[in-house]
Amino acid sequence: MSDLFNSSLRELSAALAAKKVSAVELASLFLDRIDRLNPGLNAFIALDRDKTLAQARAADEVRKIGAGVTAISPLCGIPLAHKDIFCTKGWRTSCGSKILENFVSPYDAHVVEKLAAAGMVTLGKLNMDEFAMGSSNETSYFGPVQNPWDVSRVPGGSSGGSAAAIAARLAPAATGTDTGGSIRQPAALCGLTGLKPTYGAVSRYGMIAFASSLDQAGPMAKSAEDCALLLNAMAGFDPRDSTSLERSTEDYARDLEQPLAGLRIGLPKEFFGEGMDADVRAAVEAALAEYRKLGATAIEVALPNSGLSVPAYYVIAPAEASSNLSRFDGVRYGYRAPEYDDLNDMYSKSRAQGFGAEVKRRILIGTYVLSHGYYDAYYLKAQKIRRLIAADFVEAFKHCDVIMGPTSPSVAFAFGAKSADPVQMYLSDIYTISTNLAGLPGMSLPCGFGNNNMPVGLQIIGNWFGEAKMLNVAHQYQKATDWHLRMPSLAGAAQ
């Protein structure tokens, strides 16, 4: 049974269906691994073995009673973990912040509901950059997450706990959120597959907001096939979310086995200029050569406004954050300063003591760009640039089926290497942010290793609602290569 920790979701589902293992045994296997490995990684920040095993027993009962009577979700009984940005009933939901350190959610986020309805078993809550603000998982109040490939390096962020947990095989799958690359960048730095769906395809209800027009939940797992199965369960209309899109249900795994002959890959010249490390470039070009062997052709496309994505993002996202985070004031829930003189003093001290430095920085920037006299100069211009970035993608997709390039300009960097320079940290997301500004789907998959034997990620960007095509393109590559099957020695040694 010890080899199950490295199995795909389909393999785990088959093992459960064949009664080779029970959901309780499977959950216990991963909980035991978490007990052994998490102290050295800090990926999980909330665990409750009793809750987890109760869910596993319920899944076993569903498979026992439902067999032959009703269709059972292929995910029933399979464990996963949730990024701690998703409200999860009865679990602490902190968003990586002191201000929510002791908040226990009274309800489930839509994503949590949907995956629970599919019978998935919650292993626990995963560490993250505070309020999803960061690219390295160094801003969490609960301490940084270590990269399982090299514990002296960052796992990426903000979904760093999710990425580290999957890479170390502490969980077969996890939820993540992507506001400017926070699923794709940690997936690249930890050597796994992560997908950001089209904006509105997955409900944001119960997902603690950072930047409402950019935030999007998505799956993280070892392979594209695993992500397709998870997205099937996660996606769908939710009337509680005003940005949720009402669309027909689709099977995101339907095209996985389609051949790639005739596929047109767009290569933006802006993604292959200065700024990309040589080791990343070599791995990405090798991946493109593999796609050519599979029958694809590559053409150059232009995204002329993509260079403006970082400044536009760091006006729009902080502006929305300053509004969203105003609710954390010490009045209704969360941290309240122990000593204060009056109501205004309570507000000030609670927020000053409860928020970390990066969150305060972004709140201040956001408040500034929305203030009288600066709204037109900054926020309105950033929104106009956002429209131009989206228009660039519309034009590019007239000539290609998917767009490819690096996910991150470098492999995982050492702790502290960029934390003193916010601009350098923000540039970690230079290839991913434009996708969020346009609301497009994007994903990262492992495509090799760079310096110091650290993983490199290949980014695939699809047209709006093109998740099934993206997953097909990724799956065919993963059938031809084994990068997604590699795991850090730390994980293998802990069998």
Between 23-37 and 49-66, two packed helices, what is the crossing angle to 10 degrees? 160
Helix (H) or strand (E) holding 76: none
Q: Over the range 90-114, which residues count as b (16 or more CB within 10 Å of their CB) and which as e? A: ebbbbbbbbbbbebebeebbbbbbb
CB 407 within 8 A of CB 450: no
Tell me how far apart the alpha carbons of residues 428 and 440 are, in angstroms, rounded to a whole number. Answer: 19
Q: Which residues pair with 443 in a beta bridge?
A: 195, 460
- Give the burial string for 196-214 (b: 16+ CB within 10 Å, else e): bbbbbbbbbbbbbbbbbbb
Q: What does the alpha-carbon distance between residue 164 and residue 158 come to, in Å, rounded to a whole number?
A: 11
What distance separates the 2 farthest-apart alpha carbons in the chain? Answer: 70
C-beta separation of 288 from 299 below 8 A: no
Choosing from 182, 223, 244, 350, which is the catalytic residue?
182
Q: Indicate the pairing of strand 264-268 with strand 297-301.
A: parallel
Q: What share of the chain is helix, strand, coil (3-state, %, to 5)?
A: 45, 15, 40
Of the residues 7, 22, 73, 83, only one is catalytic, namely 83
What is the rounded CA–CA span in Å between residue 149 and residue 166? 12
Look up residue 409 and give its two tokens.
Answer: 């300009």
What number of H helices and E strands is found in the chain?
A: 16, 11
Verify whether residue 223 is a known catalytic residue: no
Reply yes or no on whether 83 is catalytic.
Answer: yes
Q: Nearest to residue 194, comparing CAs of 489, 477, 458?
A: 458
- The closest alpha carbon to 441, from 471, 406, 477, 411, belongs to 471
- Cα 248 to its chain centre, rounded Å, is 24
CB atoms within 10 A of CB 440: 24
The catalytic position among 8, 22, 158, 419 is 158
* DSSP-derived pairing of the beta strands 193-196 and 297-301: unpaired
The rounded distance, in Å, linking the Cα atoms of 416 and 154 is 9
Structure tokens at 408: 């991150």
Joined together, the tokens standing for residue 179 give: 């506001």
Report the alpha-carbon distance of residue 34 to residue 262 in Å, rounded. Answer: 44
Q: Which residues are catalytic?
A: 83, 158, 182
